[in-house]
Amino acid sequence: MTAQPNSSRLPALDAAAQQHSDTLLAHIQQQVQQQGGWISFADYMQMALYTPHLGYYSGEANKFGRGGDFVTAPEISPLFSQALANQVAQVLQTTAGHVLELGAGTGKLAAGLLLRLAELEQIPQHYYILEVSANLRHRQQEYLQGILPVALYSRLQWLDTLPETLTGVVVGNEVLDAIPVHVVEWRAGQWLERGIGFDQQLVWQTQLLQDLSLVAAIDTLPLPDGYVTEVCPAAQGLIASLATMLTRGLILMPDYGFAASEYYHPQRAQGTLMCHYQHYAHDDPLIYPGLQDITAHVDFTAMAETALANGLDCAGYTNQAQFLINCGILQLLQQVPPEESARYLPMVAAVQKLLSPAEMGELFKVLALSKGLALPLMGFLQGDKRHQL
């Protein structure tokens, strides 16, 4: 089975971008040949996003904000970070300790969290940032040094790997959706795996699924013939690693996705893979390798079950709108005088984007996983949806 990439409706590449993508394409082609002509989609996604200096997150192109390919919640409004900080502060007040952010993007979330935590007098001992991209790390350091007081910047520490232990709070904003996924297909009563081959260009190729453990959680579901979806054991591996690391505290995972009953609904027959290039969203991951983001929605049920199996508690699950309202985003907005319309009106529009069911309010969820915490978390006091997991 093959599919021809189609880039006709996307912005054209300039010469430098084309050369960058071609260099990564040659590397991927070599890996395909070395693996006998076929690699899993997870291996392809790993190379497309994370190959040193060439992958999407490892290269030098701007990825975030208006000049990038997509906009994340911390770029939409500083009130997102401030509301999230209210939840972080509640936990730090009980646990003390540190904050660990996984993949800090532009650094705006870190800045917003630290500034708000300082206002609340709940500054963490350290604010760790685990960042796999050297380019993004440099940009974060430059941005944060310019915006934070020295006393706050001195709390920052960049890491290459997870610390052995941590007490406090872990934040992974839109981290799980960028972890490589396997693409599987149910056809004629058996499971197939969709991977990547090379025939003048990258092409989809399907073969019999070799590792049936990949589909253990969905094997008994009544799926229609030809049903395509994603599974992400690497995301479950991350949750397991975080569970081992956390001695006491909270893990917060805001991201877009569904509980399993909705993720693997029979009508969601083409999966959830999505690509972003210069604010164009499309579903062809085979074009522009190294230049476009590739994501899949999160199966939050799998994340919660993995957490429970590794000694964590599922402390909350709700949509982003409910979480932010619970954490006081509307009260934070009210602190801006309405008569300052040049400042107030854009903030209202940004908050609407964060809260509206038609925008980010419903599709984005927040999953809270905890260890050694007995307190009711403010972000989930109303509208907790754990029963849906």
Q: CA 195, CA 203: separation in Å to the nearest integer? A: 8
Of the pLDDT bands very low, low, confident and very high (cuts 50, 70, 90), residue 9 is: confident
The pLDDT tens digits for 228-250 are 999 999 999 999 999 999 999 99
Cβ–Cβ < 8 Å for 74, 147 = no
The pLDDT tens digits for 283-338 are 999 999 999 999 999 999 999 999 999 999 999 999 999 999 999 999 999 999 88
* Pairing of β 156-159 and β 190-198: unpaired
Query: What confidence score (pLDDT) does residue 149 get?
Result: 98
The pLDDT tens digits for 88-107 are 999 999 999 999 999 999 99
Q: CA 89, CA 119: separation in Å to the nearest integer? A: 10
The pLDDT tens digits for 188-220 are 999 999 999 999 999 999 999 999 999 999 999
Residue range 12-32: average pLDDT?
Answer: 94
Instruction: Tell me the three-class secondary structure of the chain, residue by residue.
Output: CCCCCCCCCCCCCCHHHHHHHHHHHHHHHHHHHHCCCCEEHHHHHHHHHHCCCCCCCCCCCCCECCCCCECCHHHHCHHHHHHHHHHHHHHHHHHCCEEEEECCCCCHHHHHHHHHHHHCCCCCCCEEEECCCHHHHHHHHHHHHHHCCHHHHCCEEEECCCCCCEEEEEECCCCHHHCCCEEEEEECCEEEEEEEEECCCEEEEEEECCCHHHHCCCCCCCCCCCEEEEECHHHHHHHHHHHHHEEEEEEEEEEEEECHHHHCCCCCCECCCEEEECCEEECCCCCCCCCCEEECCEEHHHHHHHHHHCCCEEEEEEEHHHHHHHCCHHHHHHCCCCCCHHHHHHHHHHHHHHHCCCCCCCCEEEEEEEECCCCCCHHHCCCCCHHHC
Of the pLDDT bands very low, low, confident and very high (cuts 50, 70, 90), residue 66 is: low
* Pairing of β 98-102 and β 166-171: parallel
Residue range 330-350: average pLDDT?
Answer: 93
Of the pLDDT bands very low, low, confident and very high (cuts 50, 70, 90), residue 59 is: confident
Of 116, 103, 126, residue with least CA distance to 77: 116
Of the pLDDT bands very low, low, confident and very high (cuts 50, 70, 90), residue 11 is: confident
What lies within 8 Å, CB to CB, of 299 at 6+ separation is 231, 232, 257, 258, 259, 260, 263, 264
- Give me 152's structure tokens: 């706050």
167 DSSP β-pair partners: 248
Of the pLDDT bands very low, low, confident and very high (cuts 50, 70, 90), residue 62 is: low
Q: CA 41, CA 289: separation in Å to the nearest integer? A: 13
Residue range 249-277: average pLDDT?
Answer: 96
Look at residue 1 and tell me whether its pLDDT is greater than 50.
no
Task: List the single range of 63-72, 144-153, 306-315 with lowest mean pLDDT.
Answer: 63-72
Q: For residue 92, give the amino acid letter.
A: L
Query: What confidence score (pLDDT) does residue 58 get?
Result: 86
The pLDDT tens digits for 275-295 are 999 888 999 999 999 999 999
Residue range 12-26: average pLDDT?
Answer: 93
Query: What confidence score (pLDDT) does residue 26 get?
Result: 96
Number of neighbouring beta carbons within 10 Å of residue 219: 12
Of the pLDDT bands very low, low, confident and very high (cuts 50, 70, 90), residue 2 is: very low
Residue range 119-139: average pLDDT?
Answer: 95
Q: Name the residue with higher pLDDT: 115 or 132.
A: 115
Residue range 134-144: average pLDDT?
Answer: 94
Of the pLDDT bands very low, low, confident and very high (cuts 50, 70, 90), residue 4 is: very low
